[in-house]
Structure 1
Amino acid sequence: MLKINNLHAFYGKSHVLHGVGFGVEPGEIVALLGRNGSGRSTAAKAIMGLVQCEGSVVWKGQEILGRKAYEIAHLGLGYVPESRDIFPALTVHQNLMLGQKGSGKGSRWSFDDMYDMFPRLKERQHTEAGVLSGGEQQMLTLCRTLMGDPDLIIIDEPTEGLAPKIVELVGEYLQKLKARGISVLLIEQKLTIAMAISDRALVMGHGCIVFEGTPESLRADAYTRKEWLEV
């Protein structure tokens, strides 16, 4: 579905990704793990056409490297950045409306789906997004991206700064996506949630993939955890 090969990314003269390669299959949750500065967020931005890149990013058999971010999004890739990027002066419902692709007809997701999944958003649908809590804003960003009906969603640090109960809710949400056939590339630092819900785990270090395997094999690999993940 998504195949990345020999991907290099740059910020000006700074060479951040060094020949990264991995794939995501249909209906699969892949966790991309690593310490801050390892290149995980840059990998997400590279897939979405937001940084200078070289190499190959193939989506459903089509090379997308070099395309504009909005073109990539229209092909069925959703992106939830770490910064959340909600529209603070618009209501919850208006933010969700902005996420719709076209008329929204034929989408797997409706407003009711979003409100059923996160009842708190239904309660606050007429509230300006800027006054929501951090957890509510994260829910809103995830739902707004889903309204675009992506086949794969890239989520950068969805549990950052959230209370444990909300973290658990996000994990349940991601499993619901998988149940509907949506692939997930989860960029995360919290091993607990990533290991609990992912089908495969990737570990990045110094702009390279240094481990790829099942969550079980990563649990058994004390060296990789100590060298590349533990603080």
Structure 2
Amino acid sequence: MLQIDDLHAYYGQSHVLQGVCLEVAPGEVVALLGRNGSGRSTTAKAIMGLVDWRGSLYWRGQSLAGLAPHDIAQRSIGYVPESRDVFAALTVQQNLLLGQKSRRKACRWSLDDMYQLFPQLAQRQHTKAGVLSGGEQQMLTLCRTLMGDPDLMVIDEPTEGLAPQLVVLVGQFLHTLRQRGVSVLLVEQKLTIALQVADRVALMGQGRVVFTGTPEQLRARSDLRQEWLQV
């Protein structure tokens, strides 16, 4: 479904991605792990056309080279940035409705689905998004992207700064995506949740993928965890 090969990206003179190779199969959850600065978020941004890159990046056999972010989104790829961008002046419900790509096409997801996934949003549906807590804004960003009915969601650090009970809800959200056949590329620092929800993990270090395998295989490699994850 998503195929990345020899992907390179730069910030000025800094060579951030140095030949990333990665793939996500239909219905698969792949966790992209690594320390800050390893290139995980830049990989996500490259997929969405938000940074210049060179190499090969294919979605369903078609190259994403040269496409604008909105064109990539129209190809059924959803993106949840780490910044938790919401439309502050609009209500929760209005934000969710804006996430819909087209009202002519039947969608797998409804407003009721979003409120079942995160009941707190149902209680706040008529509240302006700008006054929500950080955790509520994260819920809203996840659900607004899902309202676009993507076949792949690229999710960057969804549990960053969240209270433990909200981390549990995000984990349940990710399990629901897998059950409903949505592929996920999950950029995550919390090893516990990543290993719980992922079918495969890809470990990044110094701008490249240094390991891919199952969560069980990574659990068995304390040497890799110590070299590329532990501070």
Assess same fold via TM > 0.5.
Answer: yes
TM-score, normalized by length of structure 1? 0.98
Letter in 1 for 2:88: P
> 2:155 and 2:215 mapped to 1: Cα distance?
18
1:139-180 Cα shifts (integer Å, max 9, x gaps): 000000001110000100000000111101100100101111
2-structure distance, mates of 1:223, 1:65: 36
**Aligned position for 2:113:** 113
Instruction: Give the 3-state SS of the residue equivalent to 2:20 in structure 1.
Output: strand
SS in 1 for 2:211: strand
- The equivalent of 1:60 in structure 2 is 60
Q: Which residue of 2 aligns with 1:10?
A: 10
Structure 1: where are the runs of 5+ without partners?
none
Paired with 1:13 and 1:191, the residues of 2 have a C-alpha distance of: 31
**What are the equivalent positions in structure 2 for 1:30-179 lying under 5 Å apart?**
30-103=30-103, 105-179=105-179
Worse-superposed segment, 52-61 or 98-107: 98-107
CA contact (8 A) 1:104 1:147 kept: no
The answer to whether the Cα contact below 8 Å between 1:8 and 1:16 also exists between their aligned partners in 2 is yes
Distance 2:207 2:104 in 1: 38
**Cα offset, 1:105, TM superposition:** 3.5
Find the residue that maps to 1:23 and give its secondary structure.
strand
Task: For residue 125 of structure 1, report the CA deviation from its aligned partner.
Answer: 0.5
Q: Percent identity?
A: 67
Q: Distance in 1 between matches of 2:181 and 2:142?
A: 16
Give the equivalent residue in structure 2 for 1:216: 216
Offset of 1:97 from its aligned partner? 1.3
The answer for unaligned runs of 5 or more in structure 2 is: none
Q: Which amino acid aligns with 1:225?
A: R
TM-score between the two structures when normalised by the length of structure 2:
0.98
Question: Residues 176-231 of structure 1, C-alpha deviation per residue, up to 9 Å, x if partnerless?
Answer: 01111000111000000000110101110110001111111101101110000011
SS in structure 2 at match of 1:175: helix
1:104 deviates by 5.9
> How many matched pairs?
231
Looking at structure 1, the residues matched to 219 and 204 of structure 2 have their Cα atoms a distance apart, in angstroms, of 16
Amino acid at match of 1:208: R
Secondary structure at 1:122 match in 2 = helix
In structure 1, how many angstroms separate the alpha carbons of the residues matched to 2:197 and 2:144? Answer: 22
Shift of residue 13 of structure 1?
A: 2.4
Aligned 8 A contact 1:84 1:138 in 2: yes
Q: After the TM superposition, which of the residue ranges 166-175 and 5-14 deviates more from structure 2?
A: 5-14
